[in-house]
Each structure stands twice: as structure tokens, then as C-alpha cells.
Structure 1
């Protein structure tokens, strides 16, 4: 199915496609070195591996002949991870000494968590650049508290029927607080496409589930009626096999169905100061096919084809993402550099480390 919400907005210039110029063979060489060194160093080198990974994919992503870059160092990533590990160790020790201390630490974490999210997003933004112009993130802790703590609780209380509202709030918080130099990003997407995407994803899972029950329900009923299935290796492997089958045929495709449909909405509703807009026209079936086949290929090859699957996905997403310029990009980039947001700007304090949150 092709998403209907992918009509390009009005523009002043011809759309410019993003390009990913990385090669699977080239990336495999970097990836395998990252993997082996991370194993040999008991995970310590993974901080530098993360930097090399981001730098490769950023450097090889172009738009209008200009590419992105990533400027963090492995030491910055490692320091952030060591802080997190130290905090976990302190928490475990304190919890073993006194349950009251454990409760106090949990409450403290609830208060600190939004601040950590903002710092992590700020770090990742400021360590990234496009054509020598740094990104920035200006989100507030109070807003992060609502979006990442209060809204998820309310969503759970509504049995996740309001998940699209939460998802849109998270995306709006991230995009609307980002800057490229001093230029502001702004995303104002309607809510109904998010609900539409969730409905299609839920219907897909339901349809696959109905088919699975129709084909295997009797056998499963027999398996569980046997009593102790743990004593029957055939029963155990059958249940595990059916679980993985449902994962690859129902939940994984549904997740990418939702991602494809909402990605188009988000990009097509985003504007950068100066009248620069974006457009995405990924198709649901194509993205689902790439995601599922990538997962199967990576699993069958024990991960050795993972670099190829990563490049394949990056190529597809880049080729279906466009910049709709509102004017001269040369003038835009030059103006941002003149306003002091070039690569040479220094950052200090906790903005110089990564606390490792996947935000």
C-alpha cells in the first residue's frame, strides 16, 4: 500500500534528493574492526566504534553536494558511559544497605531523568554538523519531564489508545527544539495520520494473529493440554518457533508500517527557517520488505551481512527523502557560518560528554 499523505508541499525550487554514498564492502571493513576491537577490549573500544559508525554514515550522507559530519570523540562517549556505570554501582550498593535509600535514589532518578534526556539530545545535536554548520538543541527540562514521564504514564492509563498523541509529542519536542546554526526547525503535523498508522499496524498484527490461530491453534491447544511442556523438547521448540514466526510476520512488519506512514507525515510537515521544507515518500510495503528481509539475512548469516543491510536501509531512506529549498543554500549556509555557528565553536561542561541515552 502506498501512503496517501505524501503530496509534496508548495515549493520555490526543485526538490533535491538526499544521497547516501557509502558502500557495503567499505563499511564492512570498518564494522568488523569495530566489532573485534570491542570484543578484545571487553567493550571499552565500543565508545570509539560508536563514533566511527556515526562518522561514516554522516560523512556519506549528502544533500545538494554538501555532507554531514559527526565531531564527538571516543573519550567523550567513554566518560559518559563510565558515569552511568558508576551511578548503577552506587545505586546497587545503596539498595543493598537500606531500602529507604533505594527509594530515595529512584525518586532522584525520576527528577534527573528529564535533565539527562535534554543533555543527551544537546550533545548529539552539537556534535553533528551540516556543511560545517553545527546543529543545536534548546529543549527545556520542564518540557522533557512532561513528554518523557507524565505523557507515558497517561498513555499507559488509557491502555495505549493515546499512543499517537505521545509519539507526536516526542517528535515535536525533538524537532522543534533543534536548530541548524541559528535556523529553527518546526514540525506541526496533524494527529489523524498517526492514528491511521497505528490502526493499520494493529490490523496487520490482528490479521496475522487470526491466520496463525487458524493454522496452528489446534496444535497449540494440544501442546498445552499435555501438561508439562518443558519436558517435551518438540513442544518447546515449536512454541519458540511460532514466537519468532509471529515476530517476523506480525510485530516487526507492523512496527515498520507505523514508521513508514508517520515518517512521511513528520518530514512533510517540517520546515527550516528560510522557507526550506522537507519531503518523504517512503512506501509502507517497501520499507516493511527491506526491514524484514534485512532481519532474516542478518540472522541467517549470524550478523556477517549486517553491514550490507545497514547500507541497504540507509540508501533507501536517503533516496526517498528530499529538501525543498526556499532559496539559495549557499546563502543560507554562509549566513549561519557568519553568525558564529561553524565547526570551530567549543563546548564545555557536561555538554562535552555523552550520557548514552538512546534519544
Structure 2
């Protein structure tokens, strides 16, 4: 992977207008020492050390990321994360246990989770942004009165409406969720914005659905024909065995389309972001991204997971070093907004339920 992206006007001083490439200074060797210690201490302490492990890892990646001569900062406190995780365990582990044993009492938690979901997303976004800084200025998420109602509209109301329309509104729902998250984010006192892209969301959704019908349907048809032949004839012909060779091809086709759609979606969102007059451009290409997916998977398999630090660093390097910030009037004009304390409960609850509140491919 390349160590950097050559941007013709990547000025050292952000006070001057121009284009600035991100640079990632982390290495697998450096991160391995952090990762292995985190892993061992988390195991030895039965998970109690995990908040400190998370902060060490996040701080390493933030501080290894450079833009226009300045590094990012990560300011979360491990004790806050630990308290947030304890609250999550107390509140939601009973549900996980009841669901695991298929107890009907688990249904009591369903309306609670539906109501809590949007609130958790808001809390998670506030925490994750608040603990991130660049050039001494913190990011933040809106505390305006209408932000919570917007969360319930976009993460509860619209998905229900999408279900009622048999999925026809789901691309619009996804678009509105992304746009709501971006439009309520701030860097200092300056709000981020996302330009509309509903048409592109529908196009990408149609491509993905067509791929699922074509490749997924082909895989299902092959399995169905083989099962039917085994039931009726009691044996399979050489032609049926030959169809097995098509299954890896169909899976590969579905994988290719899925990665392509995820990549295009990430570029669609990122390249429509703006912060005042600051914009982003992404140079991610399908070939390198596919190689990243495949090679990372092979590295993890053949090293039994011990290559994870190298996998994470090489992924971060590719994603970041193919992002360029265009700042016509420079990056020094932003001022810090008021920062309020936000607990880590929402972030940990989002992690517990595997709620994705980020953008990526």
C-alpha cells in the first residue's frame, strides 16, 4: 500500500487555502504491541480492562491520523466507558438471556428496545463526536430540542413506513438516516451538511437487489435441483455434480456486486459532505478495495487472527490516504462550540446491539 497520496497543494499551513491529503502514520508492528497487551489484560481481568483497551486503541488511531500537519485527538475516559457498559449489562443482559432461552417474557423488552433505539443512537453519536478533536477543536452532535424527535422519525417512524411499503421506501429511509446524522454533526460551532442524493441511493439499491435475485436465486435454484434429484432418483448424475462448480462463481459475483455497491455508497455520502466551504473527495477504487478485502481475509485466516493489527492499519491507511480535503479559505477559521458532558452509555448500548452509526465500506 502507498505510504501517502501526493496532493499538489497539500500546504503545510492550514491557514492557506488548498487541498490537503490525510496521512496515516500507524503501523501494524506498533499497533500489535498495543493490541496484544489489550487482549491479554482484557482476558485476565474478565473484561474489566476492555474500556482502557478501547481508549488505547482509539487514541492510537486518532493520533496516527494527520491532516494539514495536525493530528486528531481522542479524549474518552475509560472509567466513563466502564460505567456505561455496566449500565448496559444491568439493563439489557436479562433480555439477551431470555431471548437465548426463547422465553416469551423476552417479548416484553421489544417495545422497550424500539423506544430506546433512537435515543441510544443520539447518545452514541454525541459521545463519539464529543471525544474527538482536531487542532484543539472538538466535534459534537446537536443538542437542539428537535434532534430527539428527528431520531425517532428517521430510525423508528420511517423504517416502519418502509416495511409497510414492502421495502420500496428503504433507500429513501437510509438516505434520510445518513443525512440526519451528518446535518446534526458539528465541528466546533460549524455544522456539517450532506447534499441530497436520493436518486443514487435508489440506483445502488436496485443494483444490489438485482444481484441478490440473479446470484442468490441461481444458488438457491442449484441447491433445489440437487435436492429434488436426490429425492426422485436417489442418486446424482455427473451433470448435477458439475453444477456445484457454479456455486463459487455465483458467490463471487454476489460478493463483487456487494463490495461495489458498498464502495459507491461510501463515496456518494463522503463526497456530498461539506463543512462551510470545505469539501471532501475520495479516490477509493474497486480493484484495490477488493484486494484489501480478500488479502485481509486471507491474512486473518492463515495467522489465526494474529494479523489483525496489520489488517486494521493497512485498511485505515488506504481509506484515509485516498481522502482529500478541499479548503478554499483554509482550515483555521473554525471556532470551538460549547461542549457539554455526554456519558458513554449510548455508545456502549449501540455497541451492545451492534448499531452502526458510522459511514464506511
The bucket for the TM-score relative to the shorter chain is 0.7 to 0.9
Question: How far off is 1:256 after superposition?
Answer: 2.7
Question: How far off is 1:262 after superposition?
Answer: 1.5
Q: TM-score, normalised by structure 2?
A: 0.77
Question: How far off is 1:22 after superposition?
Answer: 0.7
Q: Indicate the SS of the match to 1:44.
A: coil
Q: Give the ranges of 4+ consecutive aligned residues of structure 1 lying more than 6 Å apart after TM superposition.
A: 92-96, 241-247
Instruction: Identify if the C-alpha distance between structure 1 residues 141 and 242 changes in structure 2 by more than 3 Å, giving closer, same or farther.
Output: farther
Q: Contact 1:79–1:353 at 8 Å: present in 2 too?
A: no
2:348 equivalent to 1:355: yes
Q: Contact 2:215–2:254 at 8 Å: present in 1 too?
A: no
2:260 equivalent to 1:257: yes
Among 194, 205, 228, which residue is 2:201 paired with?
A: 194
1:325 corresponds to which residue?
Answer: 327
Among 292, 295, 298, which residue is 1:296 paired with?
A: 298
2-structure distance, mates of 1:203, 1:295: 26
2:126 equivalent to 1:119: no
Cα deviation 1:280-318 (Å, max 9, x = unaligned): 131234323312332232123221112211111111111
Q: TM-score, normalised by structure 1?
A: 0.77
2:186 corresponds to which residue?
Answer: 179
Q: Contact 2:216–2:254 at 8 Å: present in 1 too?
A: no
Per mean C-alpha deviation after superposition, the further-off stretch among 152-161 and 57-66 is 152-161
Question: How far off is 1:123 after superposition?
Answer: 0.9
Cα deviation 1:25-51 (Å, max 9, x = unaligned): 111111111222222222222222221
2-structure distance, mates of 1:42, 1:91: 21
Gap regions ≥5 residues in structure 1: 1-11, 228-240
Among 52, 55, 61, which residue is 1:51 paired with?
A: 55
Cα deviation 1:103-155 (Å, max 9, x = unaligned): 65533332232222211111111111111111110161111111111222222
Q: Contact 1:133–1:181 at 8 Å: present in 2 too?
A: yes
1:72 corresponds to which residue?
Answer: 76
Among 270, 273, 286, which residue is 1:270 paired with?
A: 273
Tell me how many residue pairs correspond in the alignment: 322
Question: How far off is 1:242 after superposition?
Answer: 9.9
1-structure distance, mates of 2:320, 2:81: 27
Instruction: Identify if the C-alpha distance between structure 1 residues 351 and 81 changes in structure 2 by more than 3 Å, giving closer, same or farther.
Output: closer
Q: Contact 2:183–2:191 at 8 Å: present in 1 too?
A: yes
Cα RMSD between the aligned structures?
3.4
